[in-house]
């Protein structure tokens, strides 16, 4: 039973749906306790039956919502019942203002605030406020309609007991609403962060993707490009590697090269590593000179050639790439510079292997 309830609860998608079932549970519990309190007061047999009817109506509405999924309609039905039927009758049966009836006249406007549909929410709130006002007006203009005049002991007992019930109900509902809102906001933020991460990162290697690195060049690098260099490199003979070892091992090779790149990227100084294509990577490095840039690129090339592979201990992977300073006086457009580097990689795939070349070479 507990497992089924938990599964049902986890399948609820919106805050309105969760609030509906929490409020239903609280209302049913309060109605049952209200029945016992009314029986203890021995004020009016009809009031006892009305409390029991309240439980029946709540259960029927719950079944209706469970069957149809019309949560806003379920809220509205309950609110109209409480505000226009249950609360007014209970108000007069129990002694009007000499009872705790005024507490329950606030239930309608309060519950209206949890309706997700805006039109229904404001219509319901307006209707329940008017209904409550009319109840007070009728009691004032026609005091003879109040069938009983309870004793002071009954009045204080009624107010005290129902105050506790209503106060606890409001506290529990509001506490749950706040907690549910906070949890929903946290989940939404996690989802947004996840989507933001996925939009910026390559799904296979976890490096930044091509879309992000182009934006990074525009928003970060291009404003202080005198200290940045672009090193674009590709895995030598990657097509043959795929044909020989299969795409699964090919993906593993790509991931290991990406991991090696990620270990040398220093994001604290603005560097960035990205997977630019299937077997092509881009390393934006921050260094002080052309010589330093070349040394770092060549050290990385050598580190890749020293990688070992468990599926073939004899396999040695090499990379080839081109290095270009972002301050290039002849290139004022980052996309043109990227295309220039990209086009030169084609020559590396055929004429040059396992080496780094500057674009001025």
Region of 331 (left: φ > 0; alpha: ψ -120 to 50; beta: rest) is beta
Indicate which CATH number applies to the domain containing 334.
3.30.70.270
The answer to whether residue 130 is domain-embedded is: yes
Task: Render 247-261 in DSSP notation, one character per residue.
Answer: HHHHHHHHHHHHHHH
The answer to whether residue 204 is domain-embedded is: no
**Which token pair is 242?**
């795929």
User: 3-state DSSP call for residue 329?
Assistant: coil
Question: Using CA of residue 198, residue 270, residue 322, residue 213, what is the dihedral sign?
Answer: positive
Same domain? For 183 and 277 the reply is: no
Going across the sheet that includes 272-275, the strands are 272-275, 280-286, 228-235, 319-325, 356-358
* Domain-terminating residue out of 169, 196, 223: 196
Range of the domain at 301: 210-358
* Domain-terminating residue out of 163, 196, 229: 196
- What average pLDDT values come out for the chain (361 residues) when binned by 10 residues? 71 77 78 68 62 80 87 84 82 78 82 82 89 89 78 77 81 81 85 91 92 85 82 89 88 93 91 90 91 93 89 86 75 66 66 75 46
Identify the pLDDT of residue 361: 46
Identify the pLDDT of residue 3: 73
Query: How many structural domains is the chain composed of?
Result: 2
Same domain? For 189 and 288 the reply is: no
The answer to whether residue 203 is domain-embedded is: no
Identify the pLDDT of residue 350: 63
Nearest to 276 by CA among 224, 331, 322, 228: 322
Same domain? For 118 and 258 the reply is: no
Same domain? For 340 and 218 the reply is: yes
Q: Residue 201 gets which letter from DSSP? A: B
Model-level pTM?
0.61
Identify the pLDDT of residue 351: 66
Instruction: Tell me the CB-side half-sphere exposure of residue 201, using CA atoms within 13 A.
Output: 13
The answer to whether residue 92 is domain-embedded is: yes
* Domain-terminating residue out of 196, 221, 237: 196
Contact by Cβ (8 Å): 281, 274: yes
CA distance 323 to 343: 13
Identify the pLDDT of residue 258: 94
Q: Residue 85 gets which letter from DSSP? A: I
Same domain? For 301 and 190 the reply is: no
The answer to whether residue 191 is domain-embedded is: yes
The answer to whether residue 180 is domain-embedded is: yes
**Which token pair is 278?**
């299937």
Identify the pLDDT of residue 200: 92
Identify the pLDDT of residue 41: 55
């Amino acid at each position: 039973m507990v497992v089924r309830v938990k599964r049902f609860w986890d399948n609820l998608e919106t805050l309105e749906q969760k609030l509906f079932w929490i409020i239903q549970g609280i209302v049913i519990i309060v109605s049952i306790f209200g029945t016992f309190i009314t029986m203890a007061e021995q004020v009016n047999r009809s009031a006892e039956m009305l409390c029991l009817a309240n439980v029946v109506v709540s259960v029927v509405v719950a079944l209706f919502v469970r069957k149809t999924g019309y949560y806003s309609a379920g809220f509205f039905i309950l609110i109209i019942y409480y505000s226009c039927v249950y609360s007014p009758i209970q108000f007069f049966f129990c002694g009007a203002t000499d009872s705790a009836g005024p507490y329950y006249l606030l239930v309608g406007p309060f519950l209206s605030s949890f309706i997700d549909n805006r039109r229904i929410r404001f219509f319901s709130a307006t209707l329940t406020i008017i209904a409550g006002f009319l109840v007070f007006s009728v009691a004032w203009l026609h005091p003879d309609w109040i069938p009983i005049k309870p004793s002071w002991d009954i009045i204080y007992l009624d107010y005290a007991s129902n105050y506790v019930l209503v106060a606890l109900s409001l506290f529990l509902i509001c506490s749950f609403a706040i907690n549910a809102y906070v949890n929903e906001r946290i989940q939404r933020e996690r989802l947004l962060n996840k989507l933001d991460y996925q939009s910026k990162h390559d799904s296979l290697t976890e490096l930044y993707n091509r879309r992000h690195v182009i934006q990074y060049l525009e928003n970060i690098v291009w404003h202080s490009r005198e200290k940045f260099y672009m090193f674009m490199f590709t895995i030598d003979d990657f097509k043959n590697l795929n044909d020989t070892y299969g795409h699964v091992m090919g993906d593993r090779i790509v991931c290991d090269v990406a991991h090696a790149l990620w270990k040398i990227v220093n994001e604290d100084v603005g560097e960035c590593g990205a997977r630019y294509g299937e077997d092509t990577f881009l390393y934006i490095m921050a260094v002080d000179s052309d010589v330093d840039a070349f040394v770092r690129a060549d050290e990385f090339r050598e580190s890749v050639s020293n990688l070992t592979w468990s599926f073939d201990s004899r396999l040695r992977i090499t990379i080839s790439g081109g290095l270009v300073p972002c301050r290039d006086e002849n290139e004022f457009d980052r996309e043109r510079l990227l295309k220039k580097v990209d086009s030169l990689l084609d020559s590396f795939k055929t004429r040059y292997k396992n080496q780094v070349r500057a674009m001025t070479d």
